[in-house]
Structure 1
Amino acid sequence: MPGSIAMIFVAVFLFVFASAAFGQTLPNETPQKFEPTNDGFEYTRRDVMIPMRDGVKLHTVIIVPKGAKRAPILLTRTPYNATELTSHAASSHLGPILNGYDNALEVIVEGGYIRVVQDVRGKYGSEGDYVMNRPLRGPLNATNVDHATDTYDTIDWLVKNIPESNGKVGILGISYDGFLPLMALVNPHPALKVSVPMNPMVDGWMGDDWFHNGAFRQQNMPYIYEQDGSRRNDYHWWTSNFDDYEMFMQAGSAGELGKRRGLEQTGFWRKLLEHPSYDSFWQEQAVDKLLAKEPLKVPVMLVHSLWDQEDIYGAIAVYKAIEPKDTNNDKVFLVMGPWHHGQEIADGSTLGALKFHSDTALYFRRHVLRPFLDHYLKDDAPKSDVAPVTAFETGTNKWLQLNSWPSGCASGCTVKSTPIYFREGLRL
């Protein structure tokens, strides 16, 4: 009996002790809101939501170099995540965080520019609805907003709210981000001083991205799936075969593969199915045709990759459309480099097995793009000596400075063009 009472006492004691121990908690080491410092950083970063005329707010990242005064602004608008495009590394230095797509470091960092990257409406941190290559207001867009108005409203906010700027803005970008600087040319904001569309999407049926002369490019199905499937590209196209050729052959057609993958849930895929021919849907949003009707108010540098696998049509088509408006030959510029899509921001010393014995892309960024932008955007920059046309000639591996392009034609030109035809045995 005494032993039983002792056992009961011990059990009660252990229960009470354990209950007390379980009732206690260690203090939480995670603050309710952590406030990071930027000690030693050579820039300040501001994440803002800029209101558009319809009340929608667009997420915008602003990178201001430390000590900047009267610095020009370089703007890129993108559907590819503004935060990611300005966060390539966790670093206190500008170079590492911007070392990637759309960011010409030799211009932005070395030139002391304020860098601004914005999510287009409907993507990532921005509000609103996403429409692939949203058309201008009109028959294909019944709303009162488009990329031209969004760019105007954005620039208007930037020059009024970034005290370190000189009030001058340039816009540039590659591919989809190159399409957007072209949209900025429609009723441009007075503070927009220059536009640099690089490898821009211009006509999605004739030769950019979706179709190439009417041939549908099924390689873009994963892009459409991810880009149009959600605001933040949450859903990823999956591989099912070792060789994609087998996947397409098993499906039988792009339409059937799209149906199997659920692509018909997305609005843009349904538009592609509804408009396989070059109808008014494509013609009325072809940017070269639109800009041919607009006055030329802003200097433009069109950058074209001679081996662009995606958007080989657009830059040249726009050049042909707007160059006749440049009566003084000082507002429309064309650069043609030996690059694949977007390579002008990367290493340009080779193209596959071809070697050019110099970094052609670096030459473009330092000796063409930077002086061009500086001339129009900096208060005290010297006059640019960039030629109306800067073209790389493969074989001789030389950059040519030309007054016009093409420099040769069938008749009436100083240089007579020479037709080239395919021959047997893989010869010309």
Structure 2
Amino acid sequence: MTWLDLPDGAAFDAWTLPYGIFSTPGEEPRVGVAVGDHVLDLAPLAATGGLDGAHLFAQPTLNPFLAAGRRAWDAVRGWLLELVTGEPHRDLVEPHLVPVRDVKLRRPFDVGDYVDFYASQTHAENVGQLFRPNSPGLPAAWRHLPIGYHGRAGTVVVSGTPVTRPSGLRRIGPPADGRVEHGPSLRLDIEVEAGFVVGTPSRLGAPVPVADFTEHVFGMVLVNDWSARDIQAFEYVPLGPFLGKSFATSISPWVVPLDALSHARVDPPPRDPEPAAYLRDADPWGLDLEFTVTWNDTVVSRPPFAGMYWTPAQQLAHLTANGASVRTGDLFASGTVSGPRPGGSGCFLELTWNGAEPVALADGSSRSFLEDGDTVTISATAAGPDDTRIHLGAVTGQITPPRSHDH
């Protein structure tokens, strides 16, 4: 229950309380929390309410708050829940509610490193069929460890940032006699993913156990890992994704704290063979999340996350297993979220079966891959308190034409 007058269909309820960075005309960017159709301006509210660490919320990035660690995160969330559910706090809170229509949302944190995983068995097998038809569907290591690659942090952008069509080398025609040309990607794609944001860093040389996931990870964002499939297919053997992925990765502007996902936890699928000891999870972090993909105002897919083979806790344990450290603001993503076809594909490569089965859009057009001017929005919900579904926000991007190499 809350004293707030939340409109029907509000983006965020009084339980989710995600954090972001916003600005208003003539004022500096700062930390806010989304609730209903408002942003709660935390810096002046915390100062007025006498909360320790109020200065953390006057910053243009979440990183200082993320670095404060689990005790601070829990204390602030408990304080916020009390404020938005207790009628006596109404007079304190209301002056600091800013209509979301009046704010500009910014990238919520400074990204340290970006790692992308490959945790959906359906997606991995489909990509194997499409890209490697004469080889086993799953790479040999896939069932033994969370496969991933180190991405490019500098091109992680906030929702709403235009995505320029990338250019690169791609093969035209069949492998045996096709030619190789440099030019704009003709098979531009999306990837629906959940991203996890590191708050508390780890020490170099000290792996993070699966059980310590919540001590290091603050929350999650929605991710669209844009992918140029023709560039990717030509370049990725033997070292994996590079220019086909590094041009842009979009994230939602609101970071949902892990505590808001406590009701969404589910067991992941059975793992066979049993994972190595460092990946065994007695208290697993499978999540009941449901994504919706909208392509030019047409809903084309609803990928389910609960079937992901590797959990975010296992992914964090694996990316630090060799002693690699994580830093405040590091982002790691789940990999494409895809369920069994039809209707659950998390990328257009699968949805259209590499262009062989185009998708009909509401305006009468059809698509196999993205065209200039196309807009894609990825939204998601999670299981919430009392059998509800909580909204996790959205990430949107529009494709703009390629830029000339003459400039």
Higher helix fraction (1 or 2): 1
Under TM normalisation by the shorter chain, which class is it?
A: under 0.3
**Larger Rg, first or second structure (1 or 2):** 1
TM-score scaled by length of structure 1: 0.25
Bigger relative contact order (CA 8 A; separation at least 6): 2
Higher strand fraction (1 or 2): 2
TM-score scaled by length of structure 2: 0.26
